[in-house]
Structure 1
Amino acid sequence: MIVGIDFGTTNSLIANSEIFINERGSRITPSIVFFRNNNEVLVGDLAKSQMYIRPDKVILNVKRDLGKGKEYIINNEKFKAEEIASFIFKKLKNIVNEEISSAVITVPAYFDDNQRNGVLEAASIAGLDVVKLLNEPVAAAIGYGINIENKKILVLDFGGGTFDITLMEIKDDVFNVLKTGGSSELGGIDFDNILVNWIVNTVKEKDGIDLNVDPVALQQLYIHAENAKIDLSVVENTDIIIPYIATLNNRPYHLNLNINRDIFLSISKGLIEKIEKLILEVANEEIDEIIFVGGSSRLFFLKELVKKIFPDKKIISDLNPEEIVVKGAGLYAQVLEGKINNILLRDILPHSLGVLDDEGNFIEILKSGIHYPSSETEIFTNTKDNQDTIIIKVLQKKNDEMINLGDFEFKFSKKWKKNEARIAVNFSLNINGLLEITAEDLNTGQSLKGKITNAMVNRKSINKDFINNYKII
């Protein structure tokens, strides 16, 4: 069986024709890992229940750290972000209780090559063969519109850790992405952080207590801040009440604060302005409908903001934003199984790919916005005598930031004089939007696949046997 997996920053889901239910009777499994000891990890709701008492052994929001070389130290052992994420994938496999051969896994459209490779590696450690990395907004569009014809839709995918904006046309079973944008560093947890900072500063100013120095107290603040954020999407104001969170003058201190929408909007102004700017960079007046995806899309200000930008556009409000992505991934899994008529996906590269020249300049080879699969070839030469190796520094341009994808080394059978070599280097984007690089010596016909060094996701450094020894509960 092929399954669809929505691997989220905050929560994850797994589906095929239906969404699978976990041991708590819920379709949603928190993306949280708790190390009970050196042999067992708890994942999901069981891990979430440990956040109050053992925050030092609980890992949250690991999706944001994939492909960045992040490491955690738990029980004196080092774990890479990809290893932590693999526990979540294993938990989802256990929920199904059936033999899973392969998976369609959703990723933010704005993920770069390193982040996508991080997801692939985490799934591989968990024993999953990923047949497709499916961009989350595209998955949402499939979940919404597999039988819809001739519409341009704007998908606003606002999750716990990422914000994807995708303009797409659906026509004759073709899902054609026209433009994409957003941020992989903006999501609901950023509003949680702002609320927590507001609480900490308010309590410190009012009563002189610094809750920031107590990890257990801080964990409670994050949980109650998230609840307050959710409450404000329903009511105008709410109380944040946490008894016995600290001591004051040798007496128990009970936190009791009221927050309203005006305060929330005031302290979140910078984030909201960033959201508006990102939407305007992608959207245009040609859209027919707007879809909200992700749990954080329920925040009260978002629909008001979109109505201000597009006062005459139809907003689809009868979808479950937490489930629509995994529904689309499950449908696409059934397409691959031959259970549903084939659909064609035409997705685009969100960030340019290129190399550094000898003077340190970025040379673009694959431009952002091209549809994939796709490939381009550039001719390079050697810069000194007696050279038989070419090292290409590969970068991905993400807004104004240069993301290092590693150094690709090609060693040939001949040593050249300076500027003698004619090496055709091919950049190819596969169906998952991942870069593959090959090189050919045009003088001899020798072809090579690049050996990558300095990559952020180093598969050789991961000990799968060590990780697989852990029991997942």
Structure 2
Amino acid sequence: KIIFTAPVGAFERYLDWFRGLATKLKVAQVQLVDESTAAALGYAIKRPGALVLVVDFGGGTLDLSLVRTASCTSQVSGSQGSTQKALRAQVLAKSDAYVGGIDIDTWIVEHYLQQIGSSRVEVEGVGWQNLLEIAEKLKIRLSIAESAKESWFDDENFIAHELLLSREELEEILESRQLLEQLRQALDEVLAIALSQGITKSKIEQVLLVGGSCLLPAVQQLVISYFGKGKVKLDKLFEAVAHGALALSQLVEVDDYLHHSYGIRLWEPFQKKYYNKLLFTKGMKYPCKRPEPMILKVAEDGQRQIRLDIGEIAELSRAEVTFDAQGRMSSSQLHQYEEYRSLESQHQQVCVARLDPPGKLNKDRISVKFEVDEERVLLVTVRDLLTGRLLVKKKAIAKLQ
């Protein structure tokens, strides 16, 4: 058995790459779990009934999971009527943002270049990478010091760089670039989802900080301001996710829900724009099925295939920063937007039905049933209403051609 961990906001195409890797490795059992959920399980499994929130802030993403474990009984394999005590876990709330340590390094370098009247365009590729490495060193040192300095001589352009940064300046960068606001929004979203289930902030037993970016004092202070110093722990910063994933073997099941919606992308000819017809909405627990099949017709006489663009719909946020003529930051805003990702790797429509005989206009032709299985894979079953033949049976959308 192999267990893969992935960011909360990972799309199915990304997860499918892991499944493909497991197939190549000839591993029969594959399990996928959100990284922040895995870290929470590592702690909660030792304390049945515990309510644990993990803030996983690494190099590329910010992920939050609120998890609770509970004791239950399960049937012993091969033993008739015999049961044993076991644990099940429930993911109560989660949130994410596409921001991390790599972004912070970039902002530090851009801040320095603005100070010396330069820009990224003027720095060569190798020079930019060297400045990013220096920025990372500054960031790490500022987790324990009030100020830090690093130097580098660009021997290609004969320019000496000296980067001096204080913790206060770094915190101003994080605030102006909306990083702290994105963390606030993620915390607020998790707490709002929990409150809708009758769970107040005071019931959360532990808040675990995981990932290198949680070393930033500004991040720690913000989380502490929400939950109090006594609940916030900085433990197993880099290994908590891996250790937690191993805890899955001790669980009977993990109840989780969809973080993205699933839908069909359709073209509206009158308004001349695309819209999404929802199949499953964010927040639904899986496995799940649509209660009624979708009945589809052909668009023209003689049509031999019915093709659909089926994908995931994510709610994302992006910081937009503007600068004045002197290169000084003039404004910074956090914009919310919706992003659609096709399940097909080349962003093409997939053929859900090949019709024989060809279709006729205004005639119901196929019945399509959608479901999401326990591994969070969108499956389709298609029946030809004219011939009665089963064309596709519980096949992953991403595998259709």
Asked whether the two chains share a fold, i.e. TM above 0.5, the reply is: yes
Are 1:219 and 2:161 matched, yes or no?
no
Are 1:175 and 2:175 matched, yes or no?
no
Question: Cα 1:210–1:148, aligned 2, differ >3 Å: closer, same or farther?
Answer: closer
Aligned twin of 1:195 = 108
Q: Tell me the TM-score normalised to structure 1 length.
A: 0.65
**AA partner of residue 117 (structure 1):** D
Aligned partners of 2:110 and 2:120 also within 8 Å? no
Aligned twin of 1:304 = 221
Aligned partners of 2:22 and 2:30 also within 8 Å? no
Aligned twin of 2:75 = none
Question: 1:122: Cα distance to partner?
Answer: 5.1
Question: 1:108: Cα distance to partner?
Answer: 0.9
**AA partner of residue 366 (structure 2):** I
Aligned twin of 1:232 = 142
Aligned twin of 1:161 = 60
Q: Please show how residues 387-406 of structure 1 align to structure 2 within 5 Å.
A: 387-399=303-315, 400-406=338-344
Aligned twin of 1:143 = 42
Question: Cα 1:313–1:379, aligned 2, differ >3 Å: closer, same or farther?
Answer: farther
Aligned partners of 1:232 and 1:261 also within 8 Å? yes
Equivalent-residue separation in structure 1 for 2:28 and 2:212 (angstroms): 28
Equivalent-residue separation in structure 1 for 2:15 and 2:99 (angstroms): 17
Q: Please show how residues 351-366 of structure 1 align to structure 2 within 5 Å.
A: 351-357=260-266, 359=268, 360-366=274-280
Aligned partners of 2:380 and 2:396 also within 8 Å? no
The C-alpha deviation readout for 1:233-265, integer Å capped at 9, x for no partner, is 1111111222x22477xxx54322321111111
Equivalent-residue separation in structure 2 for 1:320 and 1:386 (angstroms): 62
Q: Aligned residue pairs: how many?
A: 340
Aligned partners of 2:109 and 2:132 also within 8 Å? yes
Aligned twin of 2:335 = none
Aligned twin of 1:25 = none
Equivalent-residue separation in structure 2 for 1:452 and 1:124 (angstroms): 15
Equivalent-residue separation in structure 2 for 1:176 and 1:164 (angstroms): 17
User: Is the deviation greater in 398-407 or in 418-427?
Assistant: 418-427
Aligned twin of 1:380 = 295
Equivalent-residue separation in structure 2 for 1:124 and 1:218 (angstroms): 39
Equivalent-residue separation in structure 2 for 1:171 and 1:179 (angstroms): 16
SS at match of 2:3: strand
Question: Cα 1:115–1:212, aligned 2, differ >3 Å: closer, same or farther?
Answer: farther
Question: Cα 1:179–1:442, aligned 2, differ >3 Å: closer, same or farther?
Answer: farther
Question: 1:182: Cα distance to partner?
Answer: 0.9
SS at match of 2:293: strand
The C-alpha deviation readout for 1:389-420, integer Å capped at 9, x for no partner, is 21122121111112222322111333343232
Aligned partners of 1:381 and 1:419 also within 8 Å? no
Equivalent-residue separation in structure 2 for 1:358 and 1:200 (angstroms): 45
Question: 1:296: Cα distance to partner?
Answer: 1.7
Structure 2: state its 5+ residue gaps: 72-86, 193-199, 269-273, 316-337
Out of 357, 382, 386, which is 1:439 matched to?
A: 382
Are 1:408 and 2:350 matched, yes or no?
yes
Structure 1: state its 5+ residue gaps: 3-102, 336-340, 461-473
Question: 1:209: Cα distance to partner?
Answer: 9.2
**AA partner of residue 133 (structure 1):** L
SS at match of 1:268: helix
Aligned twin of 1:257 = 163
Equivalent-residue separation in structure 2 for 1:178 and 1:129 (angstroms): 29
Aligned twin of 1:276 = 184
RMSD: 2.9
Equivalent-residue separation in structure 1 for 2:120 and 2:105 (angstroms): 18
Aligned partners of 2:37 and 2:66 also within 8 Å? no
Equivalent-residue separation in structure 2 for 1:129 and 1:193 (angstroms): 41
Q: Tell me the TM-score normalised to structure 2 length.
A: 0.76
**AA partner of residue 329 (structure 1):** A
SS at match of 2:149: strand
Aligned twin of 1:295 = 212
Question: Cα 1:120–1:306, aligned 2, differ >3 Å: closer, same or farther?
Answer: same
Aligned partners of 1:188 and 1:296 also within 8 Å? yes
Question: 1:168: Cα distance to partner?
Answer: 2.1
The C-alpha deviation readout for 1:291-350, integer Å capped at 9, x for no partner, is 112222222111100122233771133x21210111122333xx2xxxxx4432111111
Equivalent-residue separation in structure 2 for 1:119 and 1:166 (angstroms): 21
The C-alpha deviation readout for 1:14-71, integer Å capped at 9, x for no partner, is xxxxxxxxxxxxxxxxxxxxxxxxxxxxxxxxxxxxxxxxxxxxxxxxxxxxxxxxxx
Equivalent-residue separation in structure 1 for 2:282 and 2:149 (angstroms): 46
Aligned partners of 1:156 and 1:165 also within 8 Å? yes
Aligned partners of 2:301 and 2:360 also within 8 Å? yes
Identity %: 27
Aligned partners of 1:421 and 1:441 also within 8 Å? no
Equivalent-residue separation in structure 2 for 1:277 and 1:210 (angstroms): 30
Question: Cα 1:404–1:146, aligned 2, differ >3 Å: closer, same or farther?
Answer: same
Equivalent-residue separation in structure 1 for 2:137 and 2:229 (angstroms): 32
Aligned twin of 2:240 = 324
Out of 404, 407, 423, which is 2:366 matched to?
A: 423
Out of 350, 369, 372, which is 2:259 matched to?
A: 350
Equivalent-residue separation in structure 1 for 2:223 and 2:142 (angstroms): 18
